[in-house]
Structure 1
Amino acid sequence: MADLTDMEIFARVVTAGSMSAAGREMGLSPAVISKRVRRLEERLGARLLQRTTRQIALTEDGQGYYERVIGILASIEEAESYVTRRNAAPRGTLKITAPTSFGRMHIAPNLGRFSELYPDLTLSLMLSDSFVDIVGEGYDLAVRIAALENSSLIARRLAPNHRVICASPAYLEREGEPKTLAELTRHNCVFATHQDLWQLEGPEGPTSVRVSGNLQTNSSEVVRETVIAGLGIALRSTWDVGPALQRGDLKIILPDFRESRRVAVYAVYPSRRFLPARVRVFIDFLAELFGPEPYWDEGLDLTFLDPKAGPDREAAA
């Protein structure tokens, strides 16, 4: 097998056009360059270069060998660059977008810890409940809570997204606890604007129920706070109401029903190739922080939910 240094010297001679020029570029004498090329030819049992006093020319074997060598050297360079990028200290500005409430509750409180780990990074966090074109607007990544469709973006699943029907003990004591889905239509339900159709899956398969209530709001945070205050019944994600469920401020009702959509928390970014270190470390940080059993679900009995919301993965979003 040829020495990689001999291969590199040979390729440099071809690109430089002469042994003396290659020697100057590599800090080697023309005699050393000539000796290494000759050693390579002897090992291969073929002449690679036609030498004259002023220039060199590739033989037919030399041309075929050169075309293959440059591909090998490029692959080696890319492999070394990959390792270097992974081990280099992340620097620069990391531009992130996330849903408003999730960002306030689960990203912002942990940015201090992240900054301690990577002090050379500057963070830019923009919270929005609108769909953000991360490529067009120059974001490094987006945190999305969705059932993702195929696109040119790459997604890594960070955590499951469990949604439960819940109400405060005070409301249930006052109005009674519904035992069937049909009974929800007789209760005051709390939901954000245009989210009055709850698509669920129960013991008999997919179903839906149209609910109604006496509050109109475009804020998921208002929904959370008012249902905790006893206004009515809501369908909420456990990342949103997990603490209230853990404290006993809310109670899960109709546990046989869950949202039918397979929704999860994802990190979405433009490309897996040449992923900047600043993006990789933040995604790894969130994946470790949340995980397949996120802290907001601790202590909750969610065995009635389908645990297979999709495996942790990196795939097209």
Structure 2
Amino acid sequence: MLTTDLRIFLAVATARSLSDAARRMDVMPMQVSRRITALEQELGVRLFQRTTRAVSLTAEGEAFLPYAHTMIEAEESALRELQPSSSRVTGLLRMTAPSVFGQSIVLPMLPKLLQRYPDLQVELDVSDTVVDLVGRGFDLALRVAPLADSELVARRIAPNPRLLCAAPHYLRQHGTPSTVAELDQHPCIVLQAVPKWPFVVNGEIVRRRVQGRVMISNVGAVRDAAIEGLGIAMLAYWDVLPQLRDGSLEEIQLTDGGMEQLSVWAVTPTRQYVPARVKVFLQMLEADMTSRLQSLPIS
């Protein structure tokens, strides 16, 4: 199986067009069509449904996609190991991260990363939607929510506990709750995706629906609403670290219920053949987050 055919297959899968894939590969559309046909004959399956207007992956093509990515990464890793320039970090690092985490933690790292590795490029998808890592060709996903069962490879980067917080001026005016029940006396700012707040009571997770007049779809907007004094918010540690530091938000600790302990995870399509661009980024991310934790420990 020729790696050229695999690259053409991946280009067509991404572009959903033979002509667009041909332009990306700088070859003739007829050559793309012939190589896809040759690959299908070699595998004994149809990889694409092709019409005059559209190209789409078959179920067999979807199943073959991660293997094609892995084989191309293996070839690139081998070349990096064998070539004299293997110590250089090059290529396009494609990653996705939750919106607030990406903006607050990942973006401030990029100048240092790109300065250290001048041949590296970065494409960062900042979104609270869990994307298809393999299908969209990402090298890496950073995730802060509980992980669902998956065939992807997850690596824990740092603790990321949920916590309750509010603006200092809100707490001065309305008081600070000390128990789970006392939250009923306060307006809570609810993230639409998490209508029930998880508390750890006697070692068990108890999900409690809180009272509030404001429900918001975006984590960053929940944080901003808390800063404005609209009530108490439940957010993750890394989403409010800058605000805990500058004092615009204060953590609220309850005596009868802790908060769910989450983590920041790095998710990759495979454990093997991880590109150097992913490895150096994760090394820098871990070092940066460890330094931040030491300067402001989690309570």
Structure of larger gyration radius: 1
Report if aligned partners of 2:102, 2:126 keep a CA contact under 8 Å in 1: yes
Report if aligned partners of 1:96, 1:142 keep a CA contact under 8 Å in 2: yes
Cα distance change of structure 1 residues 156 and 82 upon mapping to structure 2, 3 Å threshold: farther
In structure 2, C-alpha distance between the alignment counterparts of 1:195 and 1:229, rounded to whole Å: 21
What displacement does 1:205 show? 4.1
1:106 to 2:105 alignment: yes
Structure 2 partner of 1:116 = 115
What displacement does 1:83 show? 5.0
Report if aligned partners of 1:167, 1:250 keep a CA contact under 8 Å in 2: yes
What displacement does 1:190 show? 0.7
Report if aligned partners of 1:100, 1:127 keep a CA contact under 8 Å in 2: yes
One-letter amino acid matched to 1:124: E
Percent identity (aligned): 37
Report if aligned partners of 1:182, 1:209 keep a CA contact under 8 Å in 2: no
One-letter amino acid matched to 1:290: M
In structure 2, C-alpha distance between the alignment counterparts of 1:111 and 1:204, rounded to whole Å: 39
What displacement does 1:217 show? 1.7
Report if aligned partners of 1:242, 1:297 keep a CA contact under 8 Å in 2: no
In structure 1, C-alpha distance between the alignment counterparts of 2:82 and 2:165, rounded to whole Å: 49
Which sections of structure 1, spanning at least 5 residues, go unmatched? Answer: 1-78, 303-317
After superposition, residues 292-307 of structure 1 pair within 5 angstroms as: 295=292, 298-300=295-297, 302=299
Report if aligned partners of 1:238, 1:296 keep a CA contact under 8 Å in 2: no
In structure 2, C-alpha distance between the alignment counterparts of 1:221 and 1:80, rounded to whole Å: 42
Structure 1 partner of 2:135 = 136
After superposition, residues 269-288 of structure 1 pair within 5 angstroms as: 269-288=268-287
Which sections of structure 2, spanning at least 5 residues, go unmatched? Answer: 1-76
After superposition, residues 1-317 of structure 1 pair within 5 angstroms as: 83-84=81-82, 87-203=86-202, 205-256=204-255, 257-260=257-260, 262-291=261-290, 295=292, 298-300=295-297, 302=299
In structure 1, C-alpha distance between the alignment counterparts of 2:294 and 2:170, rounded to whole Å: 23
In structure 2, C-alpha distance between the alignment counterparts of 1:129 and 1:207, rounded to whole Å: 24
One-letter amino acid matched to 1:299: L
Q: Give the number of equivalent residue pairs.
A: 221
Report if aligned partners of 1:162, 1:237 keep a CA contact under 8 Å in 2: yes
Report if aligned partners of 2:178, 2:254 keep a CA contact under 8 Å in 1: no
TM-score by length of 2: 0.67
TM-score by length of 1: 0.64
- Aligned-pair RMSD on alpha carbons? 2.4
Structure 1 residue runs of 4 or more that deviate by more than 6 Å after TM superposition: 79-82
